[in-house]
Amino acid sequence: SQTIHQWPATLVQPVGSPLSLECTVEGTSNPNLYWYRQAAGRGLQLLFYSVGIGQISSEVPQNLSASRPQDRQFILSSKKLLLSDSGFYLCAWMREETQYFGPGTRLLVL
């Protein structure tokens, strides 16, 4: 069966510090992968998606970036965090038209 992992589960970072969030999928190959952000009390916003290794599409301009160094690994990064980057970050993969979400990373930027 397929599983999706995200880490860390929770992160507190100062403004201006770098960020690296990791997402890995097991039990499948060449999945579409997605990064979403959910701000407090709001819906999910698509940040990036990838259809294969090294292929990244960005949905919104921001100081975040994404990379896909391996088939089942998706990384969300930032060189300098802003207060507005706080939120709940969710990774998802897609199989047969349906997306399945990971447990999420809760990021608090202070």
* Nearest distance from C-beta of residue 36 to other proteins, angstroms: 8
Q: Which stretch binds other proteins (CB under 8 A): 11-19, 66-74, 76-84, 91-99?
A: 91-99
Contact mark string toward other proteins, 48..87, x via CB under 8 A: -x-------x-x----------------------------
Strand residue runs (E) in the chain: 3-7, 10-13, 19-26, 32-38, 44-52, 55-58, 64-70, 73-78, 87-95, 98-101, 105-109
Please report whether residue 102 would count as binding other proteins according to CB under 8 A: yes
Spatial distance between the Cα atoms of 3 and 13, rounded to a whole number of angstroms: 27
